[in-house]
Amino acid sequence: MAGSKPNQMHLKYESQIREPLVDGNKDYHQITEDIIRPIEAKPSKLWYIGFSISVALLLFGVYSVYRDVTYGIGQWNLNKTIGWGWDITNFVWWVGIGHAGTLISAILLLFRQGWRTGVNRAAEAMTIFAVMCAGQFPIFHMGRVWLAFFIFPYGNTRGPVWVNFDSPLLWDVFAISTYFTVSLLFWYSGLIPDLATVRDRAKTKFRKFFYGTLSFGWTGSTKHWQRHEALSLVLAGLATPLVLSVHTIVSFDFATSVIPGWHTTIFPPYFVAGAIFSGFAMVQTLLIVVRKVLNLQEYITLGHIEAMNKVIVLTGSIVGCAYLTELFMAWYSQNEYEAYAFFYSRANIFSPYGWAYWGMMFCNVVSPQVFWFRKLRRNVVFTFFMSVIVNIGMWFERFVIIVTSIYRDYLPSSWSYYYSPTIWEIGFYLGTFGLFFTCFFLFAKYFPTIAVAEIKYVLKTSGENYKERMDKVEEQKVEEFAHDYAH
């Protein structure tokens, strides 16, 4: 039976209703070719242009940070009332973006969502770069950055004086460094087999050395794959609560304070939903460009984009619910400070930051609702546009939360009217864009942007050409099928 009709035997089966995840007539070798060819080819002109712009932004950021370190935080327009401004806004924004990668690779792995295979590798890389960017802000906000190691608990010569383990700011240190480490390990352990594929195709001496070193001597042995699978599954299980915990802890920075507008128990779920929302938007922004430039439309299909847009409309609506709940609670709690923060500082369009609040409402709550329409979910250009809008909205959300809550505190004499950033604050922010895109350009050029092995794994269940073959199988009677395919 075994050898009789080998090409018709199927070890796995997926419903025909599901869209194929790999379009076109693919076999295993073709997948390797398609994904690894961009690494072996010379970078295009477009790549050089993009990379140069990113490096230029990065250098501007480095100079801004240099000024910040040399002359102090006075380079920024923060003041005693508005002590957290652009820097912490940017920090929370980048950390939020850094949630999509691990969400895609961990939570969607546990939920057995096949479509994650096409996008997880790039999304994880994006996560790591975004967390790197996020980390810069609190570190340089410290001012005396050369003492940044004080945030780690170690037996020092000052007592030893320990860090305060009760403080949410310290929880942040642990949460973000753990998140970064675990995401990096998760990403890299998944990358090893694919780097081995690049290594085994390498023609030049440098490439053999480079990918040979990075791929750790991977052979593809069954025992290694078995352990690799176990590792991925357990790491996914660990990373799932970790993703949720990181933005929860970031939200604790605010929620455990007694400042109107921050002091709410809704923050953890609301921040996590917002993080997934903005993270997916950033994945869309990047992958829509990557699939076009690297010609990967058959692996990152419209189905993938649609799936991510569904997540965007879901999480956007959760965020919208949270905004409305906050307004309701501000009224229902009968707390005048809470009411002032929400109904004067935020929701009143004529207040100094009313424009930011309504900009946020429009970008995050109203505009993603267009994704209820299938046609728009599957429109690449429109999705790209929307993904940028969503990230602008999510930036405003953090700005609104941070600045509108503190610019008018309990003491009217210390009220500060208008907070606008200096060029060096903006430069720092642009610099993190430079860092992010420099890393991403290097990643897209030198590493497989799609998990090659995982695509091969889903090919026979979800490849377009294999699905077509299954049509005949579906017409078979159950008894016949069982007879033909029983091992």
Partner 1 sequence: MALKRYVVGCFDDEEVLFPAVKKVRNAGYKIQDVYTPFPVHGLDHALGMRETSLHTAGFIYGILGTTTALAGMGWVFTKDWPMNIGGKPNFPLPALIPITFELTVLFSAVGMVMTFCYLCQLAPFVRKHHFHPRATDDLFVMAIECTDRTNVDDLKGFLQSAGAVEVNYQVAESGWWFGRYDVEPKLYREENPVIG
Interacting positions 354-393 with partner 1 (CB under 8 A): none
Interacting positions 439-458 with partner 1 (CB under 8 A): 452-454, 456-457
Rounded CA separation 321/328 (Å): 10
Going from the C-alpha of 106 to that of each of 55, 102, 110, 242, the distances in angstroms are 31, 5, 6, 10
What single letter denotes the amino acid at residue 23?
D
DSSP 21-72: SB-SS--HHHHHHHHHHHHHSPPPHHHHHHHHHHHHHHHHHHHHHHHHHHH-
Residues 151-170 as x/- pattern, contact with partner 1 by CB under 8 A: --x-----xxxx-xxx-x-x
Confirm if 359 and 393 have CB atoms less than 8 A apart: yes
Write down the least CB distance from residue 221 to partner 1, Å: 5
Q: What residues have CB less than 8 Å from 208, skipping those under 6 apart?
A: 199, 202
Look at the chain and count its residues. 487
Write down the least CB distance from residue 382 to partner 1, Å: 35
Residues 240-279 as x/- pattern, contact with partner 1 by CB under 8 A: -xx--x---x--x---------------------------
Write down the least CB distance from residue 160 to partner 1, Å: 7
Write down the least CB distance from residue 246 to partner 1, Å: 9
Residue 143 within binding range of partner 1, rule CB under 8 A? no
Among 93, 137, 140, 186, binds partner 1 (CB under 8 A): 186
Among 178, 325, 416, 465, binds partner 1 (CB under 8 A): 178
Rounded CA separation 185/233 (Å): 13
Among 51, 211, 371, 437, binds partner 1 (CB under 8 A): 211
Among 44, 79, 226, 297, binds partner 1 (CB under 8 A): 226
Segment lying near partner 1 (by CB under 8 A), choices 3-11, 342-350, 361-369, 394-402: 3-11
Nearer to partner 1, 63 or 481 (CB): 481
Nearest residue to 286 (alpha-carbon basis) of 450, 132, 430: 450
Rounded CA separation 328/305 (Å): 34
Report helix, strand or coil for 463: strand
Nearest residue to 458 (alpha-carbon basis) of 33, 120, 28: 28
Rounded CA separation 406/413 (Å): 13
Write down the least CB distance from residue 452 to partner 1, Å: 8
411 backbone dihedrals φ, ψ, rounded to 5°: -115, 100
Among 142, 234, 324, 349, binds partner 1 (CB under 8 A): 234
Segment lying near partner 1 (by CB under 8 A), choices 136-144, 204-212, 339-347, 392-400: 204-212
Segment lying near partner 1 (by CB under 8 A), choices 84-92, 183-191, 313-321, 369-377: 183-191
Write down the least CB distance from residue 424 to partner 1, Å: 33
Interacting positions 30-69 with partner 1 (CB under 8 A): 32
Segment lying near partner 1 (by CB under 8 A), choices 39-47, 211-219, 325-333, 432-440: 211-219
Write down the least CB distance from residue 179 to partner 1, Å: 8
DSSP 356: H
28 backbone dihedrals φ, ψ, rounded to 5°: -60, -45
Confirm if 106 and 147 have CB atoms less than 8 A apart: no
Count of residues engaged in binding partner 1, rule: CB under 8 A: 78
Write down the least CB distance from residue 199 to partner 1, Å: 6
Nearer to partner 1, 162 or 373 (CB): 162
